[in-house]
Amino acid sequence: MGSGAFALALALALPACVSPAERKCQLSGVWRNEQDSLMEISALANDGGFQGQYLTRVTLAGGCPRVSPLKGAQQQPSEAAGPTFAFTVRWDTFSNATTTFVGQCFVDTSGREMLSTTWLLREAVGSLEEDWKATRVGRNVFTRKRAPKGGILHSLSPSCEDAASPAP
């Protein structure tokens, strides 16, 4: 076997030696949480920054949700653990609220990637006296959704024009 063929055989064999739990978790891609909300995270920049889109299935006022922009940053992952990250979603046109998520990426023993997050949602209120009710806290776990890259969330977004039209 020539050195080129040996190098190719070695390169093909090495990934098989890595257990699912040792695989690195990558943030980029499409993710779904337990409420069926979807987000798509772009490729990470060299400084750990990323952008994406979020399509919620839950709204505060029952408005028609639209795809909303998200921006965030990932801490560089260590050898021992998946990366930690944070991102903010500015709910686009249907809500006067902002949500910030913090979390960590994990790979379970079967190789499934998960983003475990805690979030704070801040809703606008009319006065300082109402400030006590303006912030909510929660938790979501996202799992990777296999989907084509780029713009998939817009195709899955509900048609708000149809919902706003009066019934005949």
83 within domain boundaries: yes
Query: Does the residue 47 lie in any domain?
Result: yes
Q: Which residues have C-beta within 8 Å of that of residue 116, sequence separation ≥ 6?
A: 103, 104, 106, 139, 141
Predicted TM-score (pTM) of this structure: 0.74
Residue 23 domain-assigned?
no
Instruction: Give the CATH number of the domain where residue 76 resides.
Output: 2.40.128.30
Task: Indicate whether 13 belongs to any domain.
Answer: no
Q: Tell whether 5 is covered by a domain.
A: no
Residue 158 lies in a domain: no
Q: Does residue 1 lie within any of the structural domains?
A: no
Number of domains into which the chain is organized: 1
Range of the domain at 62: 29-146
Please write the tens of the pLDDT for every residue from 24-69: 788 999 999 998 899 999 988 989 999 999 988 876 656 666 789 9
pLDDT tens string, the chain, 168 residues long: the values are: 555 554 444 444 444 454 544 567 889 999 999 988 999 999 889 899 999 999 888 766 566 667 899 999 998 766 667 889 999 999 877 778 899 999 999 998 999 999 999 999 999 999 999 999 999 999 999 999 886 665 566 566 555 554 443 333
Domain assignment present for residue 73? The answer is yes
